[in-house]
Amino acid sequence: MRFLGLFLMACAGGKADDDTARVPVVEVDWGSWQLDSAFETESDTCAGLGASGESLGTLYGEIEVGHPNEISMLLGDLLMEGTRSADIFEIEGFSPIDTGDDTDAYGIGASITGSPTDSHNFTGTLVYTLDFPADYCEIYADIIAEWLYYEPPPPCGG
């Protein structure tokens, strides 16, 4: 549904001005991606929270690319958003948990810094963050990602 919303905005949107159209950015294709992770390290507090990055394994995400330099990924149910530059992209997201004190300060977050080798492959670092009232944990993993497929939205006006 989110892809359809972006598609409709793209069809309705006007032409970008010449300055933003020339911003050099890494090319990463829209679509479904497989992220193979290799555990690197985690903070000492992770074990106390019952968390371990050693079991991350393979993850799957949906990437959307915006103009002029936006990028987002839906990793499970976590929406991560960020920007692309000439060499890398950086995305992050945070999902608050209800602690009963009317604050969104605690939750589960993730960030990815990626460097594409081409539009269908990238390598990078994934950081999972668990921020709970009892403690704080960060899990670091190297990732190798490959593009799986893309199902385009219907054509504009059709």
Which CATH number goes with the domain that contains 100?
2.40.128
What local confidence, expressed as pLDDT, does residue 25 receive? 82
- Structural domain total, the chain: 1
Number of neighbouring beta carbons within 10 Å of residue 133: 12
Across the range 47-65, mean pLDDT stands at: 90
Domain annotation covers residue 1:
no
Q: Is residue 58 a part of any domain in this protein? A: yes
What are the Cα distances from residue 9, in Å, to 2, 3, 12, 51, 70?
Answer: 11, 10, 5, 39, 14
Share of the chain above pLDDT 90, in %: 53
**Residue 50: what pLDDT?**
83
Residue at 48 is within a domain: yes
For residues 27 and 117, give the distance between their C-alpha atoms in angstroms, rounded to a whole number.
Answer: 9
- Measured distance CA(131)–CA(2) in Å, rounded: 27
Cα atoms in the 13 Å half-sphere on the side-chain side of 151: 4
129-141 pLDDT, tens digit per residue, is 999 887 899 999 9
pLDDT digits (tens, 9 = 90+) for 101-122: 777 789 999 999 999 999 899 9
pLDDT value at 71 more than 60:
yes
The range of the structural domain enclosing residue 98 comes to 27-149
Contact present, 114 and 135 (Cβ < 8 Å): no
Over residues 4-42, the pLDDT tens digits come to: 333 333 444 444 444 444 557 878 888 999 999 999 999
User: Does residue 109 belong to any structural domain of this protein?
Assistant: yes
Residue 36 within a domain: yes
Percent residues over pLDDT 70 in the chain = 80
Instruction: Quote the pLDDT of residue 67.
Output: 80
Does 150 have pLDDT greater than 50? yes
38-42, 92-96, 123-127, 153-157: the lowest-pLDDT one: 153-157
Q: Which of 81-85, 94-98, 122-126, 153-157 has the lowest mean pLDDT?
A: 153-157
